[in-house]
Amino acid sequence: MEMKKSEKSNIGLVQFFKDLFLNNRFFYAMFGIIVLFVLSFIFPSLLVLSKLLFFVFVALVFIDVLILFGSKKGIEANRELPEKFSNGDANNVPISITNHYSLKMYCTVIDELPMQFQERDFSINTAIAANQKEQLTYSVRPTERGEYVFGALHIYACSKIGFAMRRFSFGESQMVKTYPSFLQLKKYDLISLNQSSLQFGIKKIRRIGNSFEFEQIKDYVQGDNIKDVNWKATAKRNQLMVNQFQDEKSQQVYSIIDKGRVMKMPFDNLSLLDYAINAALVISSVVVRKHDKAGVFSFSRKPENFVVAERRNAQMSLIQESLYNINTDYSESDFGNLYGHIKRKITTRSLLLLYTNFGSLDAVHRQMNYLRAINKSHMLVVVFFKNTELESLKTQEAKNTQEIFDKTIAEKFSYDKKLIVAELNKFGIQTILTEPQNLTIDTINKYLEIKAKGLL
């Protein structure tokens, strides 16, 4: 029993020294007293004052430590992490702190952030009244998908005396998964619900098609397809009757994400691949709200993460998980494999949103045969990006020969992007040339425009 008591006391003593920290104010006061003692050799009258201040200083330190360690509970804190983070957006992390001391305490909050944020000086200073609870909130902006592990939450509390601090540590490691930007879904809800948001000046054409969505039975007129004759209705009416069909209202829309090396380029700490993933998630939500079928897949060397286009309750969850699990080594993309995969897997005419990035006209010419072949069976929309750094360089005034050279190169690359748009449009391929930050809204606008015109 005596051994156990001694062990407990030793553990308690070790813990005491682990949690005790001295503030800067302690060292400033100590330095001042030492200076007075040194000066007392020159001015003996200062010796009494130096001794008095020293004893007052020791007493205050003792009282300060007694206040901090006199309470068993002291400070309680809890970090409430969300279920998941939204990639590329500001995510709030709330912290609740309860002060069980009978005095107002001054606290420094230090949270061990995940290594992906690379922040080593994160801290929040706050003051909490006696026996009160305070809610703090800070925000983090993840820039890559994956698992983010938070360490312990540390609270350093000190009284108004401020010579010493007591450390309180809470919580074990907590992990949060960072998914594609689901916060943008709420942001663009209004656009998806407003059917007429972009239809001004666009005449919608109602097309009579030969798909499998039945509309009505009507009298046969010259020019109707003989294959559509309804023989049962003809026998009942004793005259030729034909089935009339219309274009399917629930059409397939696939987001195809190129995860090759051209999508590694970063803008505002996010890669083009992550911009494309975020946009694919939002456009899929808009498509489902418009009663169409949404699907996604990615490709580089070969197609992966394939989600069949459907309109069901669990579709958005499947798409979100598929986009979260996209991994890449940023290898060279194989458009030949992409064409073969589309031909095998997507048999119904669909709208294909291809997120990629062409840097030059030669790059487009190398893949043009595959793009034209895909566009024959489907409606292909090629989405690629402006280089915002080059666009800003174009507008700057050139002051020397080097800057003139840089500006000329920037203008050439910018002009090449316009030539790529013209080349694709020449073969009937729809395009979206956009800045990364405007990708989502431009993609939604294009989809709504195609729906309004009835092109699909």
Helix, strand, coil share of the chain (percent; to 5): 40, 25, 30
**Full DSSP string of 377-393:** HSEEEEEEE--HHHHHH
CATH superfamily of 183-202+249-453: von Willebrand factor, type A domain (3.40.50.410)
Instruction: Note the pLDDT of residue 274.
Output: 93
Q: What is the CA radius of gyration of the chain?
A: 34
Instruction: Note the pLDDT of residue 201.
Output: 45
Residue 360 has pLDDT above 90, yes or no: no
Instruction: Note the pLDDT of residue 50.
Output: 92
Which CA distances in Å does 385 have to 111, 238, 263, 449? 37, 61, 10, 20
330: left (phi over 0), alpha (psi -120 to 50) or beta: left
Q: How confident is the model at residue 329 (pLDDT cuts 50, 70, 90)?
A: confident
Average model confidence (pLDDT) for the chain?
86
Q: What mean pLDDT comes out for the span 86-113?
A: 93
Residue 170 has pLDDT above 70, yes or no: yes
CATH superfamily of 75-179: Immunoglobulins (2.60.40.10)
pLDDT 10s digits, 132-159: 999 999 999 999 899 999 999 999 999 9
Instruction: Please give the Cα distance from 395 to 161 (Å, whole number).
Output: 57
Pair type for strands 91-99 and 75-79: antiparallel
Instruction: Please give the Cα distance from 124 to 111 (Å, whole number).
Output: 9
Domain borders along the chain are 19-70, 75-179, 183-202+249-453, 221-246
Instruction: Note the pLDDT of residue 413.
Output: 84
Residue 10 has pLDDT above 70, yes or no: no
pLDDT 10s digits, 176-229: 999 998 888 777 765 555 544 444 444 444 444 445 555 678 888 887 888 888
User: In 3D, which of 25, 43, 56 has the Cα closest to residue 35?
Assistant: 43
pTM for the full predicted model? 0.77
pLDDT 10s digits, 218-246: 888 887 888 888 888 888 888 888 887 65
